[in-house]
Chain A
Amino acid sequence: MNTDERIADYKRKENEPKAYIGVFLLAIFLVFLLSLSASEMQIGFFESFSIIYNHLIGVEPTNYHEMIIDRVVVEQNIPRAIGAICAGAVLAIGGAVLQNLIRNPLADPYTLGISSGALFGMIVSVVLGISVIPFVDQMDGRIVNAFLFALIPTAIIVFLSSFKKVSPTMMILIGIAMMYVFNAFNTIIKYTSDDETISQIYLWTIGSVAGMSWGALPKLLFALILIYLAMYYIRREIDIVAQGDAGAMTLGINPYKLRIIALVIVSFATAIIVCYTGTIGFVGLVAPHIARHYFGSKCRLLIPGSAVIGALMVLISDYIIRILAPSLPVGVVLALVCSPIFIIILVRMKKNEW
């Protein structure tokens, strides 16, 4: 094989796994269509399309039943499905990027204390009515609060690294310590709250995409586009840092700076998601690992790959809930259904894949 053939061969191999992204996108689309009719209202699969069609061309519902199912499909199911896709994709991208940057398969927005911090900030805002920045509307106040508290683990890392070298392992340990601190604060707030607030906090702790509205979607989509574009832009730098800090420095990258930049962006996107869904665990940790199986560990395909797999995981879990047990939060099913699948993939994986 001469050099030209090798170059062609490399390019072909590099793009081979792209087909999987197509397959996963198709699967997301199919589950999305299925989930449109999923509710307690006994709406048929094709009926949901005609409802949407009628809604779009402006045909008014003629009776009470039609009005209700129109509401369910258009006002609840569509935003709920899109919300699930955004939440899954954002958390999975965050997990994939943090795992590579910290070189630890356990890293994700949850284990780095970002999700718990965001949740605490949101609870402070909602339950105690304390907003760090006043004079913004209620939901934006929540997001700002969530973002600022989600930044606390990052701030601690930045503070420590001003006089000490913070190794990747230290970062994840700081994150886990902060997660416990935030959870303790959340418990204190729960302890002093009334029953209704407790059940609300409880739901947020597990994570749920029920109650998503059209109004939430612009912000969720913004979070998804922000994290996707930003992380995809620095994909090569992330790959190089994943191979070691010393090597990265001598290739012209400051790994400390890159990690802080990535942490701030992941914190911001995660904070937005947490404000609408609570802390959905598991997906940020597991989706990237499933993605590594299909796409390898290079960010060029790992980021889109994690995004589609994360989105699919949350969407399917939420679909299962809606047809089987509508009152359960999605986090429960995610763990119940996806853990066994994850373990099966781990077992079937080639030796030492990561």
Chain B
Amino acid sequence: MQIDILQKKTPLSVEEDENIELKLDDLSFAYGDVPIFKDIQMTLNEPKLISIIGPNGVGKSTLIHCINKILSPTGGCVMVNGIDNRTVSYKDMAKIMGYVPYTTTNTFPISVTDAVLMGRHPHSGRNTTDEDLRIVFETLELLEIEDLANRPLNELSAGQLQKVVLAKGIAQQPRVLLLDEPTSNLDIKHQVNVTRLLKTVSEERKMMVIMICHDLNIAAKYSDSIIIMHDGGIYSVGAPSDVITPENIETVYGVKCKVIDDLGKPHIILRDDLETC
């Protein structure tokens, strides 16, 4: 399972102008006897910003880990342009799919530049070119963290670190970027900036950006599409104005709320049980 040296790999490459399609086919995952989700059917094929929302422990991160091959599903499969991702090598996957994890290990710290430069590994391999460095510094400028370039990772704040990990994912220039709560440690200004940046990136670079998000209002404001996960499966998929409804929020989160329209986007106002809507 973990050491699949002997397994035959299917080559996978996606041309620049070719569309990318992720197809989750009866995807199931269980940690031992504990099922996380079952029989998920979904096709994603447009370069847009997609948010996955849902309560804690519903399997949002697990779903993302099945898509990018960190975990192997216990049932069904994830097809990337028609090829089961388990038969694709990590190397081929890394050329088309990037991942911004929620946590990073920091036993032996390196500099911000070196960390972001690692994002170039799938493309540059053994030789770091000036072009790679240029992409790295341009990404740092894009995220407004170029001043941190020479700082070691362990001296950064949680928010700064999160931006560095995000920069690594963007510098990788993948066709699909998966993000696990990319804005959880950021203040509101940077939450807005980063989410807007992700939307711009998805449009300008024709990149499919899939992020897990806990801030429903941010997700509703910027996402092209929202996936709500609930009770071991996908509860609802669609445009923010279609899926962010008081009924859906109450079913999924068990929280009463009022949804108002703000410049065409749904905005949630929470209500305590004691208050009336």
A residues neighboring B (CB under 8 Å): 1, 3, 6-7, 9-11, 13, 99-100, 103-105, 158, 161-166, 236, 239-240, 242-244, 246-247, 249-254, 256-257, 260, 292, 296-298, 352-354
Q: Report if A298-B110 is in contact (Cβ < 8 Å); known contacts: A3-B138, A6-B149, A247-B101.
A: yes
Q: Can you name 19 A-B pairs with beta carbons within 8 Å?
A: A3-B134, A3-B137, A6-B146, A10-B113, A99-B108, A100-B108, A103-B108, A161-B3, A240-B118, A243-B104, A243-B115, A247-B99, A251-B119, A251-B121, A252-B89, A252-B94, A252-B95, A292-B108, A352-B109
When distances are taken between beta carbons in the complex, the residues of chain A under 8 Å from B111 are 296
A contact residues around B233 at 8 Å (CB): none
Please, which residues of chain B bring their CB within 8 A of the CB of A164?
A: 2
Q: Which of A100, A163, A242, A252 contacts B121 (CB 8 A)?
A: A252
B161 to chain A, nearest CB (A): 12
Residues of B within 8 A of A104 (CB): 107
- Chain A residues lying within 8 Å of B168, measured Cβ to Cβ, are 247
Expressed in whole angstroms, the Cα–Cα distance for A257 and B9 within the complex equals 15
B274 in the interface (beta carbon within 8 A): no
Chain A residue numbers with a CB within 8 Å of B115 are 243
Q: Are A260 and B3 in contact (CB under 8 A)?
A: yes
Query: Given the interface contacts A250-B93, A251-B119, A252-B122, does A243 sit within 8 Å of B70 by beta carbon?
Result: no
Whether the Cβ atoms of A251 and B94 lie closer than 8 Å is yes
Indicate if the CB atoms of A257 and B137 lie closer than 8 Å.
no
Interface residues of B in 52-95 (CB under 8 A from A): 65, 68-70, 89-95
* B residues contacting the other copy or chain, number (CB 8 A): 48
* Distance of A337 from chain B, by nearest CB (Å): 26
B137 touches A6 (CB 8 A): yes
**Interchain CB contact under 8 A, A7 and B107:** no
Contact between chains at A13 and B150 (CB < 8 Å): yes
Q: Is the CB of A243 within 8 A of B105?
A: yes
Asked whether B154 is an interface residue with its Cβ less than 8 Å from the other chain, the reply is yes
CB atoms of B107 and A256 under 8 A apart:
no
Asked if A250 meets B1 with Cβ closer than 8 Å, knowing A103-B105, A240-B118, the reply is no
B90 touches A253 (CB 8 A): yes
Q: Is the CB of B118 within 8 A of A239?
A: yes
Known contacts being A10-B149, A244-B105, A297-B110, is A251 close to B137, with CB within 8 Å? no
Cα–Cα distance between A134 and B70 once the two chains are bound (Å): 44
Closest 7 CB pairs of A and B: A252-B94, A297-B108, A250-B99, A252-B91, A103-B107, A244-B105, A252-B122
Q: Which residues of A contact B110 (CB under 8 A)?
A: 239, 243, 296-298
> Which of these, A250, A256, A354, contacts B98 with CB under 8 Å?
A250
CB pair B133–A7 under 8 Å, yes or no, is yes
| Distance, CA A3 to CA B135, complexed state (A) | 9
Given contacts A11-B133, A164-B2, A250-B99, 18 further A-B contacts (CB under 8 A): A7-B133, A10-B113, A99-B108, A161-B2, A162-B1, A162-B2, A162-B3, A240-B118, A244-B104, A246-B101, A247-B101, A249-B70, A250-B68, A254-B90, A257-B3, A296-B111, A354-B107, A354-B109
A298 — which chain B residues lie within 8 A by C-beta? 110, 114
Chain B proximity of A260: nearest CB distance (Å): 7
B263 within 8 A of A: no
Min distance, Cβ B218 to any Cβ of chain A, angstroms: 24
Q: Which of B133-173 contact A (CB under 8 A)?
A: 133-134, 137-138, 141, 146, 149-150, 154-155, 168, 172
Chain B CB within 10 Å — which of A244, A251, A256 has the most? A251
A249, B90: Cβ atoms closer than 8 Å = yes
Residues of A within 8 A of B91 (CB): 252-253
A residues less than 8 Å from B20 (CB atoms): none
Closest beta carbon of chain A to B14's beta carbon, Å: 15
When distances are taken between beta carbons in the complex, the residues of chain B under 8 Å from A244 are 101, 104-105
A242 proximity list for chain B (CB < 8 A): 107-108
Q: In the assembly, what is the distance between CA of A158 and CA of B1, in Å?
A: 11
Residue B130 at the A interface, CB < 8 A? yes
Closest-CB distance, B122 to chain A (whole angstroms): 5
CA–CA, A90 to B34, complex, Å?
A: 46
